[in-house]
Amino acid sequence: MPREVTLLQASQTSRSRDKHSRSAIWKYFGYETNEHGKPKDTSKPICKSCYRAVLTKGANTSNLAKHLKDRHPDLYKEFREVGNRSHFNITETLTKMAYNAFTRPATKPTHSQPTLPAVFEQQRKYEANSNEATKLNRAVAVYICMDQVPVYTVEKPGFKQLLEHLNNRYALPSRNFFMHTEIPALYNETKEIVMNRLGRKTFYSCTTDLWTSRATSTFMAVTLQFVTETWDIQTLEEMIQEAWKLDMSYMAGITTDNASANKKAFQQDFTWVPCFGHNLHLAINKGLDIDRVSGSLSRLRKTVSAFSRSPKMLRLLKKKQKDLQLPEHRMIHDEPTCWDSAYEMVERFLEQQQAVCSVLADDRKKWHLMPKDSDITVLETVKEVLSPVSSFTDALSGEKHTTLSAVLPLSWKIFSTLTVEEGDSNLKRQLKDNIREDLRQRYENNTHLQLILNTATFLDPRFKDSFVTLREEVKQNLMVSVNLLEAGGQSQQTSSPDDKQQPAKKNKSDLKRLLTSIQGEKKSEHGEGSSSREEGEGAETEFKNEFSVYEKMPEISAEEDPLTWWRTHETTLPHLAQFAKKYLCISASSSASERVFSTSGLICSARRARLTEEHIDMLVFLAQNLKVAKQL
C-alpha cells in the first residue's frame, strides 16, 4: 500500500527559477515536504505514481525520464508527446513573433520586434575566423597578460558565464589556443613594435639584474629607458634568456648594483652607473654595523617577531593601541635586501613603544622582550640620523622622469645632513662618520662616475648652475665628442668591437661622459661662458655657440620637468638636445629590473608550474610592455 506523503510541485520551489524546471517531466514528480510545507530534500524528487525517490544532480532530469521509461511506460509515452508539443509551441511562438513584426503597425519604430532570421542570428555563435571572434580572442589574451592572471582562467565557469552574459555569440576558445596561438601572436606583434622603435637609432640606457624562479631557472631582467621624439621617457622591460640583438653603440649607460660580476662585465667597455639605492643601502649598513646599534637592532627583531607570530599578542596590541589612542599599525620587520626597512622597523617601534611595552609588561614570560633604556636611546639616535635620508632611495626609483641628474643634488643634501655638529653624541657622530665616509668613497673618490654625474646634472636645466663641480672637464669631453661626430658622423657608434678602431670605441664611451658632463656644466656655467666662444668651423662652431647660449640661460624651478624644457628648446639647441636625450634617459637606480622580478613572482606561481621558460618570458614581457607598445 503506498505511503502517505505530501508532495510539493516542482514549480512551487526555487527550482522553478531554473530553465530545466520548465521540463514536462516535473508533471510526474514532486518533493516530500516537512511540517512547514518546505521540501525535505530537493535532490530526491518522488514519483507521484509509485512514490519512489529518484536521485538527481542539480537540474538534470535524465534519471527522472529513465525512471518513467523503466517503470511507467504509459506515462513516459505521454511525457514524450507533451515534450514534442512544447517544442512545437516554441517554434510556433517564434513564427508568430516574426509574422507580427511584419504585419502589426509599428507605434515605436525604434523598438520594433525582431524578425525570425534575426532571432536565430542572435543565437548563432561567431565563426572561429570571423572578425568579431578575432577581436574578442585578442581582448581575452590582453586581459590575461596585462592583469597577470593564469591562462587557465578561460576554463573557469565564472569567467565563461561572464562572457556568456556579455556576448552569448562568442565561443570562448580553449586554454591551449591562448597559450600556443593567441599569446605568442600578441608577443610577436608587441616585440616587433618595440624593435621597430628602437631601430630608429635611438639612444637608450639599461638596468639589469638576475633572478631565479621557483623551478630554479635563471633569468636576466633587462629594462630599457629612452626619451621619445616627444620628450617622454619610456621604459621597456623584458625577462630574457638570451639578450635581444640591440645596437650596443647607442646604449648611453647601464645601471646595476655593485656585484663584482656587473663591474667586470660593464665597467670597462660601457658607461656603467652604480645603483644609487644600492650604494645608499651599503653606506647605511656601515653605520648599522656598529656594535651598539647592531645589538639593539637584533633585540628589536626578536620583539617584533614575537608580535608578528602570535595572534594573541596582536589582539592585545590592538586593544592597547585603542586604549592609548595610538594608530592601529602593525609592527614592521626589516628585510636584508630592502634598503630602508631597518629605519621603518625602528620608526614603527618608537611610534608604538607605549603599546608594545604595555603588552609585554602584562605577561611575565615576555619580560625578556622588553627593550632596555639603553636600546631605546640607540634606536632614537638611529631614527634621528636616518630620517633625513630615508626617502631618497624612493625618490630616485622612478621610471617616468629623469633621475641621474638628481644624484648630485641629493648627495649634497645627504653629506650636509651627515655633517657632525657640536651637540652630537658619540654614537651619533660615529653613525654619521661611517655612512658619510662610505658614500664619499663610492662617489667623490670615483672620478669617472663624478664626470658622468656632472654631465647629467649639467644637461638638466634645473641644476646646471648649482651643483656641477667638474665644469672644465665636462666642457673638454663635450668638445671631443663634437669633433668625433663631425669627423666620422655615426661611424664610431656603429663600429663593431672587433674593429681595429679601438680609439673610436673608447671615444664612444667619452661621448657618454661628455653628455653626462653637459648636465653638470649647466649648473656652474655662469661667469665662464666666454670659453665657448673659441674660433672653429662647422659643427664645432655651432656647438660652441649653443654652449654659450645655454650657459647664459637661467635655471628653471626644481618642480618643472627638464624634458618639457628641452622639448621647447630643441630647435634652438639641436646639438645639446641630442646629448640631453642620450644622457637624461640613464637611470640612477636599478629598481626597474627588480620590479620585473615582482611581476615574475606573480606569474611564476605554484599554480602555474607547467609554464615553460619561453612562456614565462612572453607573459612577463607582455605584462610590462603592452601599455608602452600601445603608446609607441
DSSP 329-362: -------TTSTTHHHHHHHHHHHTHHHHHHHHHT
Q: Is the pLDDT of residue 89 over 70?
A: no
Q: Is the pLDDT of residue 505 over 60?
A: no
What pLDDT, on the 0 to 100 scale, is given for residue 31?
83
Q: Is the pLDDT of residue 470 over 80?
A: yes
CB 44 within 8 A of CB 56: yes
Length of the chain: 632
Q: Is the pLDDT of residue 298 over 90?
A: yes
* Terminal-residue alpha carbon distance, the chain: 82
CB 257 within 8 A of CB 277: no
Three-state SS annotation for 273-291: EECHHHHHHHHHHHHHCCH
Under the banding of pLDDT at 50, 70 and 90, the label for residue 484 is: low
CB 618 within 8 A of CB 187: yes
Domain match, 448 and 501 both: yes
Under the banding of pLDDT at 50, 70 and 90, the label for residue 537 is: low
What pLDDT, on the 0 to 100 scale, is given for residue 44?
84
pTM of the model: 0.66
Under the banding of pLDDT at 50, 70 and 90, the label for residue 214 is: low
What pLDDT, on the 0 to 100 scale, is given for residue 110?
52
Q: Is the pLDDT of residue 139 over 90?
A: yes
What pLDDT, on the 0 to 100 scale, is given for residue 300?
95
Domain match, 430 and 562 both: yes
What pLDDT, on the 0 to 100 scale, is given for residue 370?
93
Average pLDDT rounded to a whole number, residues 17-27: 61
Q: Where are the alpha helices (H) located in 183-290, listed in sequence order?
A: 183-198, 260-266, 276-288
Q: How far apart are CA 12 and CA 30, in angstroms?
A: 10
The sheet carrying 272-274 orders its strands as 233-240, 218-227, 204-212, 251-256, 272-274
φ, ψ for residue 29, nearest 5 deg: -135, 155
The per-residue b/e assignment along 494-503, b for 16 or more CB within 10 angstroms, e otherwise, is ebeeeeeeee
What pLDDT, on the 0 to 100 scale, is given for residue 569?
93
Strand, coil or helix: what is 147?
Answer: coil
Cell of 333: 620587520
What pLDDT, on the 0 to 100 scale, is given for residue 533?
37
Q: How far apart are CA 330 and CA 346, in angstroms?
A: 13
Strand, coil or helix: what is 33?
Answer: strand
Domain match, 293 and 370 both: yes
Q: Is the pLDDT of residue 15 over 60?
A: no
DSSP string over 499-521? SS-HHHHHHHHHHHHHHHHHHHH
Q: Is the pLDDT of residue 495 over 90?
A: no
Closest CA to 371 of 427, 299, 321: 299
Domain match, 444 and 297 both: no
Instruction: Name the residue range of residue 363's domain.
Output: 280-394
Q: Is the pLDDT of residue 560 over 80?
A: yes
Cell of 357: 611595552
Domain match, 439 and 546 both: yes
| Domain annotation covers residue 561 | yes
163 vs 537, more confident: 163
Average pLDDT rounded to a whole number, residues 180-208: 84
568 vs 399, more confident: 568
Cell of 424: 652630537
What pLDDT, on the 0 to 100 scale, is given for residue 17?
36
Q: What does DSSP assign to residue 249? A: G
Contacts of 23 (CB under 8 A, 6+ apart): 61, 83
Under the banding of pLDDT at 50, 70 and 90, the label for residue 233 is: confident
Domain match, 538 and 467 both: yes
Q: Is the pLDDT of residue 357 over 90?
A: yes
198 vs 307, more confident: 307
What pLDDT, on the 0 to 100 scale, is given for residue 96?
52
Which one of 159, 184, 209 terminates a domain?
184
- Distance (Å) of CA 306 to CA 3, 47, 74, 263, 282: 65, 63, 75, 41, 28
Closest CA to 318 of 330, 309, 310, 301: 330
pLDDT in tens, 236-286: 655 454 556 677 778 889 999 888 888 888 887 788 999 998 899 899 999
Domain match, 553 and 467 both: yes
What angle separates helix 62-71 from helix 73-103, to the nearest 10 degrees? 130
Q: How far apart are CA 575 and CA 483, in angstroms?
A: 12
DSSP H or E stretch at residue 378? helix 373-386
Highest-scoring range by mean pLDDT, 89-98, 108-117, 175-184: 175-184
Q: Is the pLDDT of residue 226 over 80?
A: yes
Domain match, 68 and 170 both: no
Under the banding of pLDDT at 50, 70 and 90, the label for residue 116 is: low
Helices (H), strands (E): how many in the chain?
A: 26, 8
Which one of 394, 418, 446 terminates a domain?
394
Q: Is the pLDDT of residue 27 over 60?
A: yes
Cell of 445: 673618490
| Domain annotation covers residue 242 | no
Q: Is the pLDDT of residue 455 over 60?
A: yes
Q: How far apart are CA 100 and CA 104, in angstroms?
A: 5
Average pLDDT rounded to a whole number, residues 516-522: 40
Cell of 501: 678602431
Q: Is the pLDDT of residue 568 over 90?
A: yes
What pLDDT, on the 0 to 100 scale, is given for residue 76?
86
525 vs 508, more confident: 525
- Look at 401-410, 470-479, 515-524 and tell me which has the smallest mean pLDDT: 515-524
631 vs 204, more confident: 204
Q: What does DSSP assign to residue 181? A: I
- Look at 5-9, 171-175, 492-496 and tell me which has the smallest mean pLDDT: 492-496
Q: Is the pLDDT of residue 527 over 80?
A: no
Q: What is the mean pLDDT of the chain?
A: 78
Q: How far apart are CA 28 and CA 10, in angstroms?
A: 10
| Domain annotation covers residue 132 | yes
Domain match, 177 and 37 both: no
| Domain annotation covers residue 220 | no
What pLDDT, on the 0 to 100 scale, is given for residue 623?
75
pLDDT in tens, 32-78: 887 777 888 888 888 888 888 888 876 678 888 888 888 888 888 88
Under the banding of pLDDT at 50, 70 and 90, the label for residue 621 is: confident
Q: How far apart are CA 359 and CA 307, in angstroms?
A: 10
Strand, coil or helix: what is 207?
Answer: strand
Q: Is the pLDDT of residue 406 over 60?
A: yes
| Domain annotation covers residue 514 | yes
Q: How far apart are CA 77 and CA 599, in angstroms?
A: 62
What pLDDT, on the 0 to 100 scale, is given for residue 200?
67
251-256 vs 272-274, strand pairing mode: parallel
Which one of 394, 415, 439 terminates a domain?
394
Domain match, 331 and 445 both: no
CB 203 within 8 A of CB 271: no
**Burial of 79 from C-beta contacts in 10 A (0-12 / 13-18 / 19+):** buried
Q: Where are the alpha helices (H) located in 15-130, listed in sequence order?
A: 62-71, 73-103, 116-123
| Number of domains within the chain | 4
| Domain annotation covers residue 578 | yes
12 vs 134, more confident: 134
| Domain annotation covers residue 531 | yes
Domain match, 530 and 469 both: yes
Under the banding of pLDDT at 50, 70 and 90, the label for residue 506 is: very low
Cell of 258: 655593485
Q: How far apart are CA 193 and CA 632, in angstroms?
A: 7
| Domain annotation covers residue 330 | yes
Q: Is the pLDDT of residue 499 over 80?
A: no
Domain match, 301 and 378 both: yes
Q: Where are the alpha helices (H) located in 459-585, listed in sequence order?
A: 471-488, 491-494, 502-521, 538-552, 562-569, 574-583
The C-alpha cell 635586501 sits at 337
